[in-house]
Amino acid sequence: MKAGMIGLGAMGSGMAGNLAKAGYLMAVYNRTAAKTAEFNVPAYSAPEALAAEVDIVLICVSADQDVLDIVEAIASTIKPGSIVVDTSTVSSETAKKAAARLAEKQVAFLDAPVSGGVEGAKNGALAMMIGGDADALEQVRPVLEAMAARIIHMGPTGSGQATKAVNQVMCAGIDQAVTEALAFAQAQGLAMDKVINVISGGASGNWFLQHRGLTMTQGAFAPGFKLALHHKDLKICQKMAAQTGAFIPLADMTVTDYEKLMAEGYGDEDISALYRLKKP
Ligand code: NAP
């Protein structure tokens, strides 16, 4: 199976690195061409040129319209029988539009958002939640296993993105809890490395505390996961909540907080920059 990766940002570059190690990566495309240099495979100057050369097209770009633009471009050249796997975080509605467009070309589409951060992408340890045809998933599973430690078929097209929205609501609550608790610890003058070490081993331990705890208390907020991207996800979650009557006050609060930070120019910082609003 020949795979091509479109989008070599914080997540896509880690995933492409693991595809290369496993021998599947045959082509890359990135809008900013310089990011393709580290991969020892042909780099294409347009997504449609890449799509003509591979059997599996993986996508990892920022937002809904970006995915739809890429899908529209590759639809002109992609071979029937190919499979497109979108690992970006977008709405279920976008996944359904992309799947419908590619079905016209006899191409299967899987919405396959991921969780696990840049560390998970780099280490091939992502959790991947998949919507779409189960047979198409089985065909590409060996390729996905190069990038993910946990691959779960959630149901029809859009159900992967619906599951990722659940993850993003939870992530908002964790961001609020960890930034607030660590600012509270710092205000007491505790040794932050020890606080993080001991709490990480107890019932309140979590990935975000372990990976972003110390850096946030040192005022370092390099992404990671850009807070403007999480804001984009939470706006999708708010729309879903409004449609279903669900109540997500922690996500609502996080949207408001992120908007304050984005207005101050911090949108490209990691989501741990929420600490800026909590520190004494
Ligand atoms: P990132 O570092 O900002 O990279 C974004 C990538 O998308 C870049 O390769 C960018 O190209 C490309 N791109 C954006 N708009 C495009 C367009 N219109 N046409 C072509 N390429 C376009 O973001 P990331 O952190 O890798 O996130 C990518 C996706 O994964 C997002 O949907 C995000 O929500 C999701 N995600 C992120 C994390 C995380 O921890 N970072 C975790 C799980 C899921 P350029 O290089 O030219 O800008």
- Could you tell me the distance, in angstroms and rounded to a whole number, from the CA of residue 229 to the centre of ligand 1? 8
Q: Which of 95, 168, 179 is nearest to 130 (CA)?
A: 95
Task: State the Cα–Cα distance between residues 10 and 121, nearest whole angstrom.
Answer: 8
Quote the pLDDT of residue 122.
98
Task: State the Cα–Cα distance between residues 16 and 24, nearest whole angstrom.
Answer: 9
Exactly one of 35, 164, 232, 278 is catalytic; name it. Answer: 164
Pocket lining: 128 vs ligand 1, CB cutoff 6 Å: no
Domains and CATH numbers, the chain: 3-156 (3.40.50.720), 162-277 (1.10.1040.10)
Residue 280 has pLDDT above 90, yes or no: no
Task: State the Cα–Cα distance between residues 73 and 178, nearest whole angstrom.
Answer: 41
| Whole-structure pTM value | 0.96
pLDDT band at 199 (very low <50, low <70, confident <90, very high): very high
Pocket lining: 22 vs ligand 1, CB cutoff 6 Å: no
- Could you tell me the distance, in angstroms and rounded to a whole number, from the CA of residue 266 to the centre of ligand 1? 17
Task: State the Cα–Cα distance between residues 209 and 216, nearest whole angstrom.
Answer: 10
Mutate to test the pocket of ligand 1, among 227, 229, 269 (most ligand atoms within 8 A of CB): 229
Does 79 participate in catalysis according to the annotation? no
Average pLDDT over residues 247-264: 98
pLDDT digits (tens, 9 = 90+) for 154-185: 999 999 999 999 999 999 999 999 999 999 99
Pocket lining: 161 vs ligand 1, CB cutoff 6 Å: no
Quote the pLDDT of residue 254.
98
Task: State the Cα–Cα distance between residues 263 and 257, nearest whole angstrom.
Answer: 10
pLDDT digits (tens, 9 = 90+) for 187-197: 999 999 999 99
